[in-house]
Amino acid sequence: MKLYNTLTRKKEDFVPIEPGKVRMYVCGPTVYNFIHIGNARPMIVFDTVRRYMEYKGYDVNYVSNFTDVDDKIINKANEEGVSPDVITARYIAECVKDMQGMNVKEATVHPKATEEISGMIDMISTLIQKGYAYVTEDGTVYFRTRKFTEYGKLSHKNLDDLESGHRKEKEAIKVTGEDTKEDPLDFVLWKPKKEGEIFWESPWCDGRPGWHIECSVMSKRYLGDSIDIHAGGEDLIFPHHENEIAQSEAANGVVFSKYWLHNAFLNIDNRKMSKSLGNFFTVREISEKYDLQVLRFFMLSAHYRSPLNFSSELMEAAKNGLDRIKTAVDNLDHLLESATDKTAENDGAIKEEINSYINKFEEAMDDDFNTADAISAVFELVKYANSNITSDNSRVIISYVDDTIVKLCDVLGIIARREKEMLAEDIEKLIAERQEARKAKNFARADEIRDQLLAKGIILEDTREGVKWKKA
């Protein structure tokens, strides 16, 4: 399996630190609003990387954080007159719903920055002890960037270019006042609280962490000092990931991550998504029009390192493509109902043909997760099945084609088998169980059943004559 490593700018063979195991960290969203479809891209593509690695037999430890302390969160909390944890709890729950809709597997651990503050204080203390960080008069702690001589190795930036960039930027915005940093390149590890803001106690001042330190700390805590893969959107290469490397390698004295993977951006109508341009969609908005499986299929129709343009035409194309696959599976399931156990002379040849599509799929995925080509291999298999598999084939062969389509789609996180509609008698059974639960005052179970039915599009109505149901 080859993957493109931003660090070396080359496709490299994947060799895990520990045979059979993958330790992977993906930078997650800042939770102050519904996630947008741009945020959904790394979630979907790196979930697919994970699924493919699991398909290959690796045991994947997948950690993805929620950034739940940030200026945008504090502003939103102030706007609504609530505390920041009300905002973050709300949007973490909404984000989890969206991830479920997109069939993104739950991470092994989903740490939150606010629950990892003591680890951050420990790492900052180590950095100070080792001379990689310093405290200024007001209690701000900065990372001493030039001391980490490999700074810039991920983004391939040169420190002097960066410094002159900083100077020009400052002149352009006419920054005045004292800068307490030793060097303009230094970045914040810990900063003093502002009036009315959330804060934690620390040896330096009451305050809160800078953004970058959280990922270094969570990655160390849940995956160890050295990990296999660190991933995120390409905007994170600099400064976020560059700073994470500096912090982690300075503190731990070992290579932080062997491979660095970055997805390109998702644009809308060939323009950068932005609130001010009004070309901005949340995943929730898309879910009103499409099954989120369609969004997932659309995202995977391009290579993760290519920019991708979101448009209704491409979403319609994804919807039709997905339908084609699902219909093929429906037809094969239907054939299986009346299939016989006979074997045919050409069974072996058909199996070989099917295996050739599996090989194509794996070759594409082994080549830096080329999901676009992997999807083409699935389409070719579907086409082959549509024109060659009939009721004349044996059960074994029909099942093999059917299961292969479903399995390859599952590697992409695509559910190829349509959910069968619930039968009236199953619905009635659940309603009766709900009534029993209510009688026993087990309201949690009663609500669970109502939600379970709702998820299948069944709405319950309490009437005088008892509980009635209808399809949404």
How would you classify the pairing of strands 227-233 and 257-263?
parallel
Q: Rounded to 10 degrees, what is the CA torsion of 326, 332, 333, 338?
A: 160
Indicate which of Zn ion, ligand AMP, none lies near residue 280 (CB less than 5 to 8 Å, by partner kind): none
With residue 208 as reference, give the H or E element that holds it. Answer: strand 207-209
- Does position 27 bind ligand AMP by CB under 6 A? yes
- Would you state the structure tokens that stand for residue 472, as one six-digit string? 């949404």
Q: Which of 5, 30, 65, 293 binds ligand AMP (CB under 6 A)?
A: 30
> Which one of the spans 167-175, 197-205, 262-270, 393-401 is the region binding ligand AMP (CB under 6 A)?
262-270
End-to-end C-alpha distance for the chain, whole angstroms: 45
CA nearest to 7, candidates 262, 185, 246, 186: 262
> Which one of the spans 209-217, 305-313, 333-341, 372-380 is the region binding Zn ion (CB under 5 A)?
209-217
> Please, which residue, 233 or 321, has the CB nearer to ligand AMP?
233
Indicate which of ligand AMP, Zn ion, none lies near residue 215 (CB less than 5 to 8 Å, by partner kind): Zn ion
* Size of the chain, expressed as the number of residues it contains: 472
How far apart CA 407 and CA 386 sit, in angstroms, is 17
b/e code 125-144 from CB counts within 10 Å (16+ = b): bbbbeeebbbbbeebbbbbb
> Please, which residue, 27 or 405, has the CB nearer to Zn ion?
27
> Please, which residue, 111 or 402, has the CB nearer to ligand AMP?
111
Indicate which of ligand AMP, Zn ion, none lies near residue 266 (CB less than 5 to 8 Å, by partner kind): ligand AMP
| Contact of 301 with 294, CB cutoff 8 Å | no
- Does position 42 bind ligand AMP by CB under 6 A? yes
Least distance (Å) between residue 279 CB and ligand AMP: 11
Q: Which of 17, 96, 255, 273 binds ligand AMP (CB under 6 A)?
A: 273
- Does position 111 bind ligand AMP by CB under 6 A? no
Q: Phi and psi at residue 278, in whole multiples of 5°? A: 75, 10
How far apart CA 258 and CA 349 sit, in angstroms, is 42
> Which one of the spans 36-44, 217-225, 383-391, 450-458 is the region binding ligand AMP (CB under 6 A)?
36-44
| Contact of 141 with 128, CB cutoff 8 Å | yes
Least distance (Å) between residue 137 CB and ligand AMP: 31
> Please, which residue, 215 or 335, has the CB nearer to Zn ion?
215
- Does position 416 bind Zn ion by CB under 5 A? no
Q: Which of 16, 29, 101, 209 binds ligand AMP (CB under 6 A)?
A: 29
> Please, which residue, 127 or 350, has the CB nearer to Zn ion?
127
How far apart CA 405 and CA 416 sit, in angstroms, is 7
> Please, which residue, 212 or 258, has the CB nearer to ligand AMP?
212
How far apart CA 427 and CA 424 sit, in angstroms, is 5
DSSP helix/strand/coil, 452: helix
Give a three-class secondary structure readout of 185-232. CCEEEEEECCCCCCCECCCCCCEEECCHHHHHHHHHHHHCCCEEEEEE
Q: Which of 55, 200, 265, 290 binds ligand AMP (CB under 6 A)?
A: 265
- Does position 41 bind ligand AMP by CB under 6 A? yes
Q: Phi and psi at residue 430, in whole multiples of 5°? A: -65, -35
> Please, which residue, 248 or 263, has the CB nearer to ligand AMP?
263
Task: Please give the size of the binding site for ligand AMP, defined by CB under 6 A.
Answer: 15
DSSP letter assigned to residue 200: B
Site for ligand AMP in 393-422 (CB under 6 A): none
| Contact of 98 with 283, CB cutoff 8 Å | yes
> Which one of the spans 12-20, 91-99, 250-258, 260-268 is the region binding ligand AMP (CB under 6 A)?
260-268
How far apart CA 386 and CA 44 sit, in angstroms, is 29
Whose tokens are 């070719």? That residue is: 380
How far apart CA 295 and CA 300 sit, in angstroms, is 9
> Please, which residue, 99 or 236, has the CB nearer to Zn ion?
236
Q: Which of 107, 215, 381, 414 binds Zn ion (CB under 5 A)?
A: 215
Indicate which of Zn ion, ligand AMP, none lies near residue 41 (CB less than 5 to 8 Å, by partner kind): ligand AMP
Quickly list DSSP for 266-279: EEETTEE--TTTT-
Per-residue contact string for residues 225-254; x = within reach of ligand AMP by CB under 6 A: -------xx-xx------------------
Indicate which of ligand AMP, Zn ion, none lies near residue 265 (CB less than 5 to 8 Å, by partner kind): ligand AMP
How would you classify the pairing of strands 458-463 and 266-268?
unpaired
| Contact of 235 with 183, CB cutoff 8 Å | no
DSSP letter assigned to residue 472: -
Q: Which of 6, 24, 25, 38 binds ligand AMP (CB under 6 A)?
A: 38
Per-residue contact string for residues 18-37; x = within reach of Zn ion by CB under 5 A: ---------x----------
Q: Where on the chain is the footprint of Zn ion (CB under 5 A)?
A: 27, 215
Q: Where on the chain is the footprint of ligand AMP (CB under 6 A)?
A: 27, 29-30, 38-39, 41-42, 232-233, 235-236, 263, 265-266, 273
